[in-house]
Amino acid sequence: MTADDDGAGSAGREPHEDCLALFEDAPCGYVLTDPTGMITAANAEFHRMVGLARGELVGRRTLASLLPVGARIYLETHLLPVLEHDDAVREVSLDLLRPDGVRVPVLLNATTTANAEGVRDLSLRAVFIETSDRHRYERDLLTATQAAEEARREAARLAQTLQRTLIPPAPPEIEHLSIAATYRPAGDGSTVGGDFYDIFQLGPASWVIALGDVSGKGVEAAAVTSFVRYTLRALAIEHPDPAETLRLLDRALHAHETAHYCTLVLAHLGRTADRWTIRLSLAGHPPALIRQPDGTVRELGIYGSPIGLLDGPEFHTVSHELGDETITLYTDGVTEARHRRLLYGERRLGDLIASLPHDPVEITEGIANAVLDYQGGDASDDIAIVTLRATR
Amino acid sequence: MFVHGFGCGQDMWRHVAPEFERDHRVVLFDLPGSGEADASTYDTIRHGRLEGYRDDIIALLDELDLHAVVLVGHSVSAMIAVLVQIARPDLVERLVLVTPSARYLNDVDYVGGFGEADIDELLDLMSRNHLGWQDPLAALVAGSDSSAVKDELERVFCRTRPEIAAEFAAVTFRGDNRADLPHVSAPTLVLQSREDSVAPLTAGLYVKEAVPDCAFEILETRGHCPQLSVPHETAAAIRRYLDVSVNSRTA
């Protein structure tokens, strides 16, 4: 077989006849226009797409007239300026509008053409490929994406609702005591964290503050948090000594079918003879921080075992009479906040508290903001902070 | 001063502006959010009204210490130019409004050419076609050579950040400046395209009737951008108008 035979095609036609046949019978729509957009040639597939008979297009319709109004604006304000500038547009997704009102989604590629003098003008060569099926598929994908997004938002709403049941909206008003508390979720707040705090009353001048961190995250951790919180409430009523309450809580969590454990600081506040006494016990948790009005900071509490982790745990209660100092309880989201690989740390926290005004709100918010700033605003762990101070 | 409209940037004037450079000082710029304008100049709230763009142009004219300019605005910027002239008559000696429309949506006794659904469709189309915006961006994300991406970004004409384009489209096509037109106090030329599906003849004629001292010329072309389709005729029409109004003034 020679090259000539090859070029003549299998039906024995001239090459240009093959080309004409390709134009006319191509499985995509071909359109030529003059510089004003008037259609000067169109093939069978394009006639089929726009639902017009031969004779209804060439010399009678402009490309714009085959588009819905919104697409016409797009053609005029975007596509033609780009064509005029770059001589081509590719993969433009549009609808063609048939006389019966049906829209045919298409992909359009178009180029400008040069006239006899070699000057390019807006005479166009355009190729249209119908994308009805693909378009439907894309719409389905879009719908699925939107449904997934909605489900994600719903999950985040659930998480936030659940979180709110674990964190009091605001600390209660307590006579002769000023309390500030804050909770900041990790990341965008869409997962339930393990940190919690609770402040509740036992008697006329008797209050309990619990602040803790259940291991892990998510719904299962939240269920354990809930368990710990309500068990604590029940136990604290019967047992005024925090170490005793923690011992019983430890047994209760051991009996609970869960692998989650918990660290906790539990404080009992009682007021007699115009003074508050705080009795405090730690369970695998960092000590509370006492700040004197002169800015000196020291720890309060004796280390104890985490709740629900060890056999033979140990808990110790320390007692402290409140003068004019502030006492801050916090979770390890504060000290274990990281900037690159560097921990925020207890020393930095102590220095920060020393530098803040001697006021529970200033101290609580000051710590939370400093720790978030330290992490560049993107907290990897949630944090809870409670600060209190006796008032007259 | 030439002000481009909705869609592309100052490049829209590249065939027309040079024809005035020999005897005029020509000012070209990109509106915030369009063309090569610094992204930080765009403000969703400020530019949620045409008055935001108006104030930008006034600030620009003041900064350049220009007075009594010929302000040429295309498409939506014809209305921005009108707002500039009304707010600061000292800055604008004559207005040239290329394919203007005071309101794109149809109204009682008014044919703007569009319904709400058409505008929604336009916004949908724009979200489906980012025309070279997402591609270089995607390449950037993929971590390819940043200088190549930069070249690509510079090469792509008519690229606007999609969410800004959508906001500009909404401001443009949902606006109504019909009540402003009678307050124009500068001599004005309306250049109308013979066939324009964005600013139809009815829209151009409305502007002509409402602006007190208004000349009107139809350019024999089809489409919304005569400065691209018939740039020489567009420039010639502007020049004829400037000559006539200068002559009548001196006479």
Q: Which residues of B touch A82 (CB under 8 A)?
A: 8, 131, 157-158
Q: Is the pLDDT of residue B153 over 90?
A: no
Listed range (A223-232, B64-73, B186-195) with the worst mean pLDDT? A223-232
What pLDDT score was predicted for residue A313?
93
Taking contacts as CB-CB distances below 8 angstroms, the residues of chain B near A74 are: 122, 125-126, 129
According to the model, what pLDDT value does residue B188 have? 96
Does residue A10 form part of some domain?
no
Q: Which of residues 116-155 of A touch B (CB under 8 A)?
A: 122
Residues whose CB is less than 8 angstroms from the CB of residue A4 and which lie 6 or more positions away in sequence, other chains included = none
pLDDT at A343 over 90: no
- Single out the residue in A117, A135, A153 at which a domain terminates: A135
Residues A218 and A125 in one domain: no
Put simply, whether B8 touches A (Cβ < 8 Å) is: yes
**How many structural domains comprise chain A?**
2
Residue A45: predicted pLDDT:
95
Q: What percent of chain B has pLDDT over 90?
A: 61
**Mean pLDDT, rounded, for A346-366:** 94
The residue of chain B with its CA nearest to that of A92 is B129
User: What distance, in Å, lies between the first and last C-alpha atoms of chain B?
Assistant: 26
Q: Which of B75, B77, B193, B245 is catalytic?
A: B75
Name residue, tokens 């019909």: B178
Q: What pLDDT score was predicted for residue B85?
A: 97
On whether any CB of chain A is under 8 Å from the CB of B59, the answer is: no
**Whether residue B30 lies in the annotated active site:** no
Q: Can you read off the two tokens belonging to residue A313?
A: 């745990």
Query: Among B75, B125, B157, whose Cβ lies nearest the Cβ of A85?
Result: B157
Q: Taking the C-alpha atoms of B3, B9, B13 and B18 in order, what is their torsion angle to the nearest 10 degrees? A: 100
Find the CATH number of the domain harbouring A349. 3.60.40.10
pLDDT at B245: 64
B77 as an active site residue: the answer is no
Average pLDDT, chain A: 89
Task: Kindly report the number of other CB atoms within 10 A of residue B116's CB atom.
Answer: 11
B114 touches chain A (CB under 8 A): yes
Whether A97 is covered by a domain: the verdict is yes
Same domain, A84 and A218: no
- Both A83 and A203 in one domain: the answer is no
Residue A153 lies in a domain: no
Contacts with B123 from chain A: Cβ below 8 Å: 70
Same domain, A104 and A178: no
State the Cα–Cα distance between residues B188 and B96, nearest whole angstrom.
Answer: 6
Tell me the nearest-neighbour CA distance from B65 into chain A, angstroms: 32
- Regarding whether A245 and A118 lie in a shared domain, the answer is no
Does residue A69 have a pLDDT over 80? yes
Which residue bears the tokens 């001048």?
A205
Contact between chains at B118 and A68 (C-beta distance less than 8 A): yes
User: What residues of chain B lie within 8 A of the CB of A37, using their CB?
Assistant: 222-223
Question: Higher confidence at residue A6 or residue A373?
Answer: A373
- A85 contacts B128? CB cut-off 8 A: no
- pLDDT number for residue A153: 83
Dist. CA A57–CA A364, nearest whole Å: 75
Answer yes or no: B245 catalytic.
no
Q: List the single residue in B129, B157, B224 with the smallest CB-CB distance to A92.
A: B129
Q: What is the mean pLDDT of residues A64-91?
A: 90
Query: Does the pTM of the predicted model rise above 0.80?
Result: no
Q: How far, CA to CA in Å, does B194 sit from each of A32, A48, B56, B198, B224? A: 22, 30, 32, 12, 9
Establish whether this prediction's ipTM goes over 0.85. Answer: no
Q: Quote the CA–CA distance of A137 and B151 in Å, as a whole number.
A: 34
Q: Kindly name the residue from B4, B47, B74, B224 that is annotated as catalytic.
A: B224
Which CATH number do you get for residue A80? 3.30.450.20
Q: Closest to A85 (Cβ–Cβ): which among B120, B126, B158?
A: B158
Same domain, A177 and A111: no
* Residues A122 and A198 reside in one and the same domain: no
Which of A38-52, B159-173, B216-230 is the least confident region?
B159-173
Q: What is the DSSP string of A365-390?
A: HHHHHHHHHHTTT--SS-EEEEEEEE
Domain interval for residue A125 = 15-135
The answer to whether residues A266 and A373 belong to one domain is yes
Q: Is the pLDDT of residue A267 over 90?
A: yes
Q: Of A69, A74, A80, which is closest to B126 when you measure between CB atoms?
A: A74
Would you call A78 and B7 a contact, using CB atoms and an 8 Å cutoff? yes
The pLDDT score that the predictor gives to residue A194 is: 84
- Domain contains A9: no
Question: Of A266 and A240, which is predicted with more confidence?
Answer: A266
Evaluate if residue B147 carries a pLDDT over 60: no
Q: Please tell me whether residues A166 and A94 are part of one structural domain.
A: no
Whether A197 and A257 map to the same domain: the answer is yes
Q: Provide the mean pLDDT of chain B.
A: 86
Judgement on whether residues A226 and A129 belong to the same structural domain of the protein? no
A119 and A244 co-located in one domain: no
Provide the token pair at B82.
């009108």
Q: Is residue A85 part of a domain?
A: yes
The whole-number pLDDT of residue B142 equals 38
Q: Could you tell me if residue A140 is inside a domain?
A: no
Partner B contacted by A319 (CB < 8 A)? no
DSSP E strand stretches across A273-335: 275-283, 288-291, 297-300, 317-321, 326-330
